[in-house]
A and B are shown apart, each in its own frame.
Chain A
Amino acid sequence: MDIYFFLGKGGTGKTTISASFSVGLSHYNKDINFLIASLDPAHNLGDAFNIELSNKIKKLTENLSAIEVDLEKMIKEYLNDLSTNLKYTYKYLTSFNLDKYFDVLRYSPGIEENAVLESIKKFLKMNEFDALIFDTPPTGITTRVLALPKLTLIWTKRLMDIRRKILDRRKMIENVKGKTEAIIGDEVITLTADEKEDQIMIELANYSKEMEDLMKLFQSDLTKINIVTMPEDLALFETKRIIESLNKFNIKTNKIYLNKYLIFDNPPEVIKGKIIEQDRVIEKMREEIKNISIKDIPLLSQSPRGIEDLLKFYDNYILE
């Protein structure tokens, strides 16, 4: 599966470009089935298409479908599942205030990133699609999401090491005293010392395999990261930051779309300053960012809305 991520600050035109990209690419590759998903909690995708989108996949053309993922709902759902599960398992740990812990979890940093990653995973499993396009949440979250598999691997490895120590010690005690039976509340639980039987180890191993696959996918050529930015100082700074932080996790940036580029024959006085800044930034950009192709897209008097407009936009400005 090919994956296309569109990253960018708010207001750079990321949604428009990603929507246009999806329309264009699907138009010229009729044998490939595309899905464009908005992972941005502040969904604009529907607006770009002029079609109302929801948390259900909607077919837009023969080979293009779209969806606006409801992350809130996702988070609520799996926290609820977990909560019911735990209340059942932990009914004797009354001093362990489950509800309080859940409050902490609900607002803990990382819960949103996790939800985004989980939804990406879900889409990856959908065999009916050959290519995925993602309109991403604000940059901070997205870079953390892309880095999450590697970070998770670091943690799972560490936890698995400690787990192995635990199982090792249990095995030693088992050798002398037989299997340990822990009495929690009314229940008697036999503690296993076998890696293959220990639920926690199994989960950690499975999860780490999933994350490893994801990490490799993000690092491979199948994943194309596109940054949408503007010819402004702050935007350049941000773009460089994104490229660097992704590099740290061995994720390559594919293309930069320099959007809302001002083209004036006779710029009015008020705009002149902006154009000078723009040129300066562009020069800087070409100097400092090597090996990544940069495509300029001019500022349009009207943003493309609807599939036809988006296709035209693609033909004019995105197609190479």
Chain B
Amino acid sequence: MTALIALVGAAFYLFFYFVYGKRLEKEVVKADPNRPTPAVKLRDNIDYVPAKPFVLYGHHFASIAGAGPITGPAIAMAWGWLPGLLWVWLGNLFIGSVHDYLALMASVRYDGKSIQWVSGKLMSARTKYTFEIFIYFTLLLIIAAFMGVFTGLATTNASIGTASVLFIIVALIEGVLLYRTKLSFTVSSIIGVILLVLSIYIGYAFPFIKITNAHTWYIVLAIYSVFASSLPVWILLQPRDYLNAYILWAGLILGLVAAIFAFKGFNWPTFTIFSAVTVGGKPSPFWPTVPLVIACGALSGFHSLVATGTTSKQLDNELSGLFIGYGSMFTEGFLATLVITSIAAFGMQVFQGAAGKLTDLKIDLNLLMTDKTYLANKYAAASNSVGGAVGIFTKSFGKMSTSVGLPENIGTTFAGLWVSAFVLTTLDTAVRLARYAWSEIWEPVKRVSEGFYKFIANLWVASIIADGLALLLIWWGSYNILWPGFAGANQLLAAIAMITAAIWVKRVQKAKPSWQMAVLIPALFLWITVTIGLIWYLFVVVPGIAVAFNKYMLGGFTVIMLILNFILVGDFISGWRKGPLPEAETK
């Protein structure tokens, strides 16, 4: 079954790439190979420089892939393996990839301006400022949620914790090797990969970092991210980013090969119940909450920022856009597929292995394995015994990789490092971006009190505030509550981007009505889903949050999101009604 689903997944994406993707390219984007892209037209070798499609694909994919496509699907297993998989396949196909691709191409047509900028043009200018406030809070949620993800892993699996810390040291060394010594790039890279493998092995064989207190890890992570994000990039961020690329591709290839060779059937329910307990400990109706759980892998608003922030300025030719924008998202969907596959096949065995801890949590292992409803309701709680939903993934992956001869714990440690490496990188970059958004948000204050602005926008102050707020969010809660908040904000971003794309398709591209609908309907479906999902979150989940700070923070944030949401729809409706627009005026 593992082999089957893995191969079907690959085939699914390949098939629809050509059947649907190519049609999008022709009928909606109307990609013209003879039309110079901004990278060519505005080439300055600073921001605008055409990159080779394969290289850009690799870069873009690595930018959008992270711990997201792993965390979401792992949490969604509470509904059974099929619902999540269908969302990863169909949601990705009709919404996610369309979103990524159209955002990219619209940006290309607007001289590489970001989707934020384009939405300002096609809808309303206030969208731009609200984007920023939005993104700031979303970043806080990412930081908090990822702190939770990492801690879940590190407290239950010392190998992963050890390997992760060692990996930081490896990255530091790699930085020195690559940028400070006369060693050739190839040699330094090889050393880096060897050290990387070594850190996995040492983590596996000598897991000496045995910190089981979650709060200790939270503080360590907060301090780490404040410092890491203030270092010059060459010291840690850049070399780690580089080595992460190796981990990512190794994981994908290993996952695919292991899935095929494992040749194991699924012993996970295909479908449990409609309202499994996934979001914030509450029974969550699959629709509308699945986008609040599975973000990257199916649909993610942040992708439009990445695609239109840098990628669109490096596209060498309009025909490469499909491969890079659409193809990357498909690849991520495939990654999510592998995650689901591994848990579907080995998840139960993981639970069996944690029998003792489950009893401590008063969870009946037998019921878990045989009773669908029980699984649906207890999955989230049960997963805490093995480090959270992500923990289940790492252990499942470990078991699956024995099919290619890897010792189980090495596989687990590798999968854990995969997640933690990306998490640690995201913590670093999220704080950097949060600092930037923060100083932009406080800009207007500059005119009133320059002293205050200087203080509030100071590097350290901004970092500490961002981390402090994130810390408060995660301190008492688990990331099951925060993750949907982040995902919700992320999907709202996607809704904005998707709606902008729909308007672009209608007014500027003047596509055939059937194709307009192909973009509009998913956009509306997305919008409705996210709106109802957020309302549900606000009225069902938020009141149940025990900690007051979290309750008000998340509640307030959700209310703001909903208000912005309705403002958007107003802007959208007035935007949609207006007549056709000429091709991009980019001033």
Kindly provide the distance from the CB of A94 to the nearest chain B CB, expressed in whole angstroms: 13
Main secondary structure, interface of A, reads helix
**Would you call A276 an interface residue if the criterion is a C-beta within 8 Å of the partner chain's C-beta atoms?**
no
Within 8 A of A (CB), among B405-441: none
Encoded as 1 (CB less than 8 Å from any A CB) or 0, chain B from 158 to 185 comes to 0000000000000000000011111001
* A180 and chain B: residue at smallest CB distance: B45
Inside 8 A of B178's CB, which chain A residues have their CB? 172, 175-176
Q: A182-B45, A183-B45 are in contact. Are A175 and B234 (CB under 8 A)?
A: no
Inside 8 A of A172's CB, which chain B residues have their CB? 178-180, 234
Inside 8 A of A171's CB, which chain B residues have their CB? 179
Kindly provide the distance from the CB of B179 to the nearest chain A CB, expressed in whole angstroms: 4
User: In the complex, are the beta carbons of B179 and A176 less than 8 A apart?
Assistant: yes
Interface centre among A173, A175, A183 (most CB of B within 10 A): A175
Inside 8 A of B185's CB, which chain A residues have their CB? 175-176
Kindly provide the distance from the CB of A176 to the nearest chain B CB, expressed in whole angstroms: 5
Within 8 A of A (CB), among B61-78: none
Cα–Cα distance between A171 and B179 once the two chains are bound (Å): 8
Within 8 A of B (CB), among A160-189: 169, 171-173, 175-176, 182-183
Number of A-B contacts defined by CB within 8 Å: 18
Inside 8 A of B45's CB, which chain A residues have their CB? 182-183
Cα–Cα distance between A182 and B46 once the two chains are bound (Å): 9
Number of A residues whose C-beta is below 8 Å from B?
8
Within 8 A of A (CB), among B175-217: 178-182, 185
Cα–Cα distance between A169 and B175 once the two chains are bound (Å): 12
Cα–Cα distance between A177 and B206 once the two chains are bound (Å): 37
Kindly provide the distance from the CB of B233 to the nearest chain A CB, expressed in whole angstroms: 9
Kindly provide the distance from the CB of A178 to the nearest chain B CB, expressed in whole angstroms: 9
Q: A182-B45, A183-B45 are in contact. Are A169 and B234 (CB under 8 A)?
A: yes
Cα–Cα distance between A176 and B238 once the two chains are bound (Å): 13
* B46 and chain A: residue at smallest CB distance: A182
* A176 and chain B: residue at smallest CB distance: B185
Inside 8 A of A176's CB, which chain B residues have their CB? 178-179, 185
Inside 8 A of B234's CB, which chain A residues have their CB? 169, 172
Cα–Cα distance between A17 and B179 once the two chains are bound (Å): 64
Inside 8 A of A173's CB, which chain B residues have their CB? 179
Encoded as 1 (CB less than 8 Å from any B CB) or 0, chain A from 46 to 82 comes to 0000000000000000000000000000000000000
Inside 8 A of A169's CB, which chain B residues have their CB? 234
Inside 8 A of B182's CB, which chain A residues have their CB? 175
Could you say which of A175, A182, A183 contacts B180, with CB atoms under 8 Å apart? A175
* A177 and chain B: residue at smallest CB distance: B185
Kindly provide the distance from the CB of A180 to the nearest chain B CB, expressed in whole angstroms: 10
Cα–Cα distance between A173 and B179 once the two chains are bound (Å): 7
Cα–Cα distance between A183 and B185 once the two chains are bound (Å): 24
Cα–Cα distance between A171 and B181 once the two chains are bound (Å): 10
Inside 8 A of A182's CB, which chain B residues have their CB? 45
Cα–Cα distance between A190 and B179 once the two chains are bound (Å): 19
* B179 and chain A: residue at smallest CB distance: A172
Kindly provide the distance from the CB of A80 to the nearest chain B CB, expressed in whole angstroms: 31
Kindly provide the distance from the CB of A168 to the nearest chain B CB, expressed in whole angstroms: 9
Cα–Cα distance between A172 and B234 once the two chains are bound (Å): 8
Inside 8 A of A183's CB, which chain B residues have their CB? 45
Cα–Cα distance between A172 and B181 once the two chains are bound (Å): 9
Encoded as 1 (CB less than 8 Å from any B CB) or 0, chain A from 98 to 126 comes to 00000000000000000000000000000
* B238 and chain A: residue at smallest CB distance: A172
Within 8 A of A (CB), among B12-46: 45
Interface centre among B179, B180, B181, B234 (most CB of A within 10 A): B179
Cα–Cα distance between A183 and B178 once the two chains are bound (Å): 25
Cα–Cα distance between A182 and B179 once the two chains are bound (Å): 20
Cα–Cα distance between A171 and B178 once the two chains are bound (Å): 11
Within 8 A of B (CB), among A266-301: none
Cα–Cα distance between A169 and B238 once the two chains are bound (Å): 12
Kindly provide the distance from the CB of B46 to the nearest chain A CB, expressed in whole angstroms: 9
* B181 and chain A: residue at smallest CB distance: A175
Kindly provide the distance from the CB of A117 to the nearest chain B CB, expressed in whole angstroms: 33
* A182 and chain B: residue at smallest CB distance: B45
Within 8 A of A (CB), among B227-241: 234
Cα–Cα distance between A204 and B45 once the two chains are bound (Å): 27
* A181 and chain B: residue at smallest CB distance: B45
Cα–Cα distance between A302 and B580 once the two chains are bound (Å): 88
Inside 8 A of B179's CB, which chain A residues have their CB? 171-173, 175-176
Inside 8 A of A175's CB, which chain B residues have their CB? 178-182, 185
Cα–Cα distance between A169 and B181 once the two chains are bound (Å): 13
Cα–Cα distance between A173 and B178 once the two chains are bound (Å): 9
Inside 8 A of B180's CB, which chain A residues have their CB? 172, 175
Cα–Cα distance between A85 and B58 once the two chains are bound (Å): 44
Cα–Cα distance between A169 and B45 once the two chains are bound (Å): 17
Kindly provide the distance from the CB of A59 to the nearest chain B CB, expressed in whole angstroms: 57
Cα–Cα distance between A183 and B234 once the two chains are bound (Å): 25
Cα–Cα distance between A172 and B238 once the two chains are bound (Å): 11
Kindly provide the distance from the CB of A73 to the nearest chain B CB, expressed in whole angstroms: 40
Kindly provide the distance from the CB of A136 to the nearest chain B CB, expressed in whole angstroms: 37
Kindly provide the distance from the CB of A289 to the nearest chain B CB, expressed in whole angstroms: 37
Within 8 A of A (CB), among B294-317: none
Cα–Cα distance between A172 and B176 once the two chains are bound (Å): 9
Kindly provide the distance from the CB of A153 to the nearest chain B CB, expressed in whole angstroms: 26
Encoded as 1 (CB less than 8 Å from any A CB) or 0, chain B from 459 to 478 comes to 00000000000000000000
Interface centre among A172, A173, A183 (most CB of B within 10 A): A172
Cα–Cα distance between A182 and B45 once the two chains are bound (Å): 8
Kindly provide the distance from the CB of B235 to the nearest chain A CB, expressed in whole angstroms: 10
Kindly provide the distance from the CB of A298 to the nearest chain B CB, expressed in whole angstroms: 53
Inside 8 A of B181's CB, which chain A residues have their CB? 175
* B178 and chain A: residue at smallest CB distance: A176
Cα–Cα distance between A169 and B180 once the two chains are bound (Å): 10
Cα–Cα distance between A205 and B179 once the two chains are bound (Å): 26
Kindly provide the distance from the CB of B398 to the nearest chain A CB, expressed in whole angstroms: 34
* A171 and chain B: residue at smallest CB distance: B179
Kindly provide the distance from the CB of A195 to the nearest chain B CB, expressed in whole angstroms: 16
Kindly provide the distance from the CB of B514 to the nearest chain A CB, expressed in whole angstroms: 44
Kindly provide the distance from the CB of A165 to the nearest chain B CB, expressed in whole angstroms: 8
Within 8 A of B (CB), among A125-172: 169, 171-172
Cα–Cα distance between A175 and B180 once the two chains are bound (Å): 7
Kindly provide the distance from the CB of B178 to the nearest chain A CB, expressed in whole angstroms: 6
* A175 and chain B: residue at smallest CB distance: B179
Kindly provide the distance from the CB of A182 to the nearest chain B CB, expressed in whole angstroms: 7
Cα–Cα distance between A1 and B281 once the two chains are bound (Å): 86
Cα–Cα distance between A183 and B181 once the two chains are bound (Å): 27
Cα–Cα distance between A175 and B45 once the two chains are bound (Å): 19
Cα–Cα distance between A172 and B185 once the two chains are bound (Å): 11
Interface centre among A169, A173, A176, A182 (most CB of B within 10 A): A176
Cα–Cα distance between A176 and B181 once the two chains are bound (Å): 10
Cα–Cα distance between A173 and B181 once the two chains are bound (Å): 12
* A173 and chain B: residue at smallest CB distance: B179
**Chain B residues in the interface with A (C-beta under 8 A):** 45, 178-182, 185, 234
Q: List 18 A-B contacts (CB under 8 A).
A: A169-B234, A171-B179, A172-B178, A172-B179, A172-B180, A172-B234, A173-B179, A175-B178, A175-B179, A175-B180, A175-B181, A175-B182, A175-B185, A176-B178, A176-B179, A176-B185, A182-B45, A183-B45
Q: Across chains A and B, which 4 residue pairs bring their CB atoms closest together, nearest first?
A: A172-B179, A176-B185, A175-B179, A172-B234
Contacts A172-B179, A172-B180 known; 7 new A-B pairs at CB < 8 A: A169-B234, A175-B178, A175-B180, A175-B182, A176-B178, A176-B179, A182-B45
